[in-house]
Amino acid sequence: MTLKIVTDSTCDLPANQPDTGAITIVPLSLTINGENYVDGVDISRAEFYRRLPELNPPPTTGAPGPDQFRQVYEQLADDGATEILSIHVAERLSTTVNSARLAAKNFNRVPVTVFDSRQLSMGLGFQVLTALRLAGEGLPAAEITVRLAEMIPRIYLSAALDSLEYLRRSGRVSGLLAGFGTLLQIKPILSMYDGEPALERVRTRKRALARLVEMLDSLGPLEQAALLHTGAPEQAEAFRQQVAHLLPPGNVPAVEATPVIGTHVGPGIAGFVVVQQE
């Protein structure tokens, strides 16, 4: 049995992860000033976050269609896959997983299992890496998805945004609320847990970071952790110093979120993604 793992480009992974070549990534798209870009291919993260504050109109994002997934499944079957596990960003945030479902429904060459991670970024990434490890141990997709479903309630993502402006641009909050947020120095904290996003409003950056420390402290002990940022590695490392005593032993990577996520949350965020111990 040869099981292959597929995900999408909202899945952030550590830059030095050695086995990511075994993962097939179906990219989302970006439209910037009328030009289409393939996420993770046509524009670097560094360039995107450098340009983002000046882009007008703001970038838009698009999910891959069923045909893109079908082509990927066809190629993997051609390459010898006997089973495919396709793990994707939370349905609440994107139509991506539904495109994968439509493609799988009409694909008969090998079995395709589509799984809603109910997460994004490294919350999805931790699940993809777990699936890759379990596939290497010989487990079939049916058993891997049971393990992933058990993992989901232990995954938490939280990040302090620099402003409400980018959520306003993407339609996540009203212009009126964003305007008041700017006047009041509101620094929103965006969280993702078990498929549902949540927004907490905190006054000032200092208080937002203190709140993140409180949230992280309440989640321990931790099995895995990653720091998350958007074009702000220095802020991620400064946050690491604040929370070093709360992080699990071993390597805790700092991961820069992909542009399709950065479009909606903006540059300058700092946060964490963790998996609680069982």
Check whether residue 54 and residue 180 sit in a common domain. Answer: no
28: domain CATH number is: 3.40.50.10170
Check whether residue 10 and residue 22 sit in a common domain. Answer: yes
Overall domain count for the chain: 2
pLDDT in tens, 108-138: 999 999 999 999 999 999 999 999 999 999 9
Q: What is the pTM of this model?
A: 0.93
Check whether residue 163 and residue 124 sit in a common domain. Answer: no
Check whether residue 114 and residue 200 sit in a common domain. Answer: no
Of the three residues 129, 152, 175, the one that is the final residue of a domain is 152
What residues make up the domain containing 86?
3-152
Integer Cα distance of 89 and 64 in angstroms: 12
pLDDT in tens, 181-228: 343 356 889 999 999 988 888 878 899 999 999 999 999 999 999 999
Check whether residue 24 and residue 39 sit in a common domain. Answer: yes
